Amino acid sequence: MRLRKSLLYSAAALILVIQNQNIVLAEELNIGYEKMVSEEAVDHFSYLFRTVGFINMQYPGDSTQNPRNGFLKLYRYSYEINLRPDFFMTFPHLKGILKPRLNSYYRTWEDGVFKGESGDRTEGFINEWRLQGELTPSFFLSYGKEKLLWGSSLFVNPSNPFFKDNEKKSNSKIELKGKYFLRLVYIPNNAMTISLIDNARKGDDIDANGEFKRTYAVKMDVTGRDYLIGLIGSIKETESSRLGSYGQWTLSDPLILYYDATAARGTNALYPEPSVGNPLGYEFVEKYKGKNSIFATGLAGVSYTLLDGSTFNLEYLRNTPGYNSDEANRYLLLRQRASGHFFDNNTPSSISAKTLLEANDPGLLFLRKNYAMVQYMEKEIKDVLDIILRYTHNLDDDSGSLVLVLECGVSDSAMLFNINNINMGGQNADFRSIVDKSFMFGVEYTY
Amino acid sequence: MKNYILTTVWLILALLVIGESICAGEASVKEILRHADRARGNLEGVTWDVRVTSKGKDAVNTKEMTVKARDNDVLVRFTNPSKMKNQMILMKNRIMWFIRPGLSKPVSISPRQKLMGNAANGDIASTNYVYDYVAALQEEDKHNGEDCYILDLKALSKQVTYDRIKYWVSKSSLTGVKAEFYTVSGKLFKTAELKYDNSLRIDENTVIPFVSELIIRDAIQKDEVTTLFYSNIKSEKLPDSTFNIDILLQ
């Protein structure tokens, strides 16, 4: 129903916009409206049709976060076909995009309590759409469902209050879902851009408790000859205001330095605290909500490209809201206790489920305080092969995640890809709590 | 005393003349370079199509793209092959992004990253040698039977990919026809040859030659040749928004 409504609204909006534009143009040029539509339709509309088919194998971790795979119900094999058409509309003062999606999959479960199960599903939805009007050469107004991402870092973008954890997922073939934004962009000159952003509607944008919190932001970008600095002030309903910044400095053609950071008074993140009333002995509380202490998360990175075109990136993330050793120990103890009672048929079971939900997303960008990432990338090897090798290390609990991405062009339209992820560390360590390893093989066809 | 005054006046006049000629020399070298840059896209709003062909030992690969350039800002949109359609490279001065349908966000890249074959991302852009390098007239020579100035370009800072460029500029058309690129260690890295069969009208009275072919050869693996063919050159007024990543449709 929701899909049908969205489609109807989008179609109606597009028709209105196209009609208005064509009438204006036709009047200006004093030519027949029908003739104009037929002659200019080809120039005004374009599309890109991508079909992605893949097999994804994942091995769920045997951790207290997901006892016997009963909490997260992670499949072992998924066979998927995704139809991803992108439609573009370009008129002199109005542009639009529409990205409907049709995803179909068949999955089988081979781990834990759901072993032997299988299921299939086909779902259609509008992942992104946007209408963007040019009010004047300097002012642009847009509304729609889109992905609003910025920053030079590969690992994570703390300065983005809307998509902070966009790069936490290691798999670039799984599309990020769009969110609703109303944006007014002002370009006073070639060096500066000021954006007012309103995360206007709920859509799929809900937190772990199923709640939507509207966020407003002001973003200012300044670009110089070899540098870029962005400043973002944002406020999210029921949370304190937040200041973010990101930037890069092209020190030389091969060498780029960059950063991405955010800071706020207090944090809404959950911390494990002793609790007399909770049968698990601890509970998650918003310990620092409304407090005056400053919580900052900052990333510093460097990128160097060799003469052969291969590029190395090194990034370090300091995440002050992350758990220290004592908090991490309490967190693991609470998770272990919740996991132990998860399958009980009594009150602790429901408390356990709630606790595991909170443990899975305690509102932290990352669980601990210190992370490092190194990446090697080489593109266009023999003009057909791209390689990305990335390793991320949690410096506090010594767990890590290794990702190898291979993409190989096999024709003008088709590309084979293989994405491998191996997580390392203790059974309950940060990177191994959800998935031990995963392997994806697929083909992307574009026409 | 009179002789002393006369000698001093002559000396001052001589110094002024020599100084002026030195300044004129510098200006003319700079002017040569400015003209050569202009014929490679460093203009106030120009669009063109590029076909890049990379020929190695085993295969030939081709990519096509449209380029919009204004001074040091460049937007490259890939049009062919299908699998690269709508991928973009946006350059604002020395800040570069790679935008790909399906990728969550624009990825920051360096001008040195490989575009295809021997061509780096920076090679697709308009050149700005007059800003990035200090030029000295080294000698005069012929290239393909054409009288040329040979300019020795030394990087003004360590920011650019090539520390030194030996640049052949045609005397008659003031266009760069050959270049040798050297690394910081003085090693010849790659060579380029340019042709100018295109022309571009930049105002009512001025038509300038515009690059039509850029052939890049690896200095070590000489059988690896990458050629950029330029076509459909148009002068066009491009607003700031063309090069603004916040409103670029992805």
Q: Give me the pLDDT at residue A168, please.
A: 52
pLDDT at residue number B249: 67
State residue A25's pLDDT score: 39
A39 in contact with B at a CB cutoff of 8 Å?
no
**Residue of B55, B98, B108 best to disrupt the A interface, most CBs of A under 10 A:** B108
Element (H, E) at B16: helix B2-38
| Alpha-carbon span B152 to A285, nearest angstrom | 68
More confident residue, A270 or B138: A270
The full DSSP string for A255-302 is EEEEEEEEEEES----EEEE-SSSTTSEEEE-TTTT-S-EEEEEEEEE
pLDDT at residue A369 in the model: 96
165-224 in chain B: CB under 8 A from chain A: 183, 189
Q: Do B110 and A254 touch (CB under 8 A)?
A: yes
Chain B CB contacts of A413 below 8 Å: 81-83
Tokens of A50: 């991508």
Q: What pLDDT is recorded for position B9?
A: 55
Q: Going by C-beta distance under 8 Å and a sequence separation of 6 or more, which residues neighbour residue B75?
A: B67, B68, B69, B88, B89, B90, B91, B242, B243, B248
Q: What's the pLDDT score for residue A418? A: 97
Please give the average pLDDT of every successive group of 10 residues along chain A, which has 447 residues.
44 42 40 43 82 96 91 95 95 94 96 92 95 95 93 91 66 86 95 94 66 90 93 88 94 90 92 90 90 93 90 96 95 93 78 91 92 94 90 95 95 94 91 93 94
Closest CA to B195 of B120, B140, B134, B143: B143
Query: What is this model's ipTM?
Result: 0.82
**Residue B12's pLDDT is what?**
52
How far apart are the C-alpha atoms of A212 and A200, rounded to whole Å? 10
Cβ contacts of A137 within 8 Å, gap of 6 or more: A187, B239, B240, B241
**Dihedrals phi, psi of B231, to nearest 5 degrees:** -150, 175
Nearest-Cα distance to chain A for B121, in Å, is 10
Give the closest of B94, B105, B247 to A250, CB-based: B94
Q: pLDDT at position B180, please? A: 92
Whole-number pLDDT of residue A322: 96
* Shortest Cα distance, chain B CAs vs residue A67, angstroms: 32
What is the C-alpha R_g of chain B? 21
Q: Give yes or no for residue B20 having a pLDDT over 50.
A: no
Task: Give me the residue from B81, B114, B246 closest to A413, CB to CB.
Answer: B81
Nearest CA to A248 out of B248, B247, B96, B244 is that of B96
What is the per-residue pLDDT for A300?
A: 97
The residue in chain B having the minimum alpha-carbon distance to the alpha carbon of residue A130 is B249
Task: Return d(Cα A204, Cα B74) in angstroms, integer.
Answer: 36
Residue A259: count other Cβ atoms within 10 Å of its Cβ: 20
CA-CA-CA-CA torsion sign (B185, B189, B195, B198):
negative
B244 chain-A contacts, CB cut-off 8 A: 185, 187, 193
User: Which residue in chain A is spatially nearest to B81 when comparing CA positions?
Assistant: A412
Flag if A248 and B247 touch (Cβ within 8 Å).
Answer: no
How far from the centroid of its chain's Cα atoms is residue A354's Cα? 24
- Using a CB-CB distance cutoff of 8 angstroms, which residues of chain A are in contact with residue B95? 223, 226-228, 248, 250
**Cβ contacts from A onto B, under 8 A:** 156
**Global pTM value:** 0.83
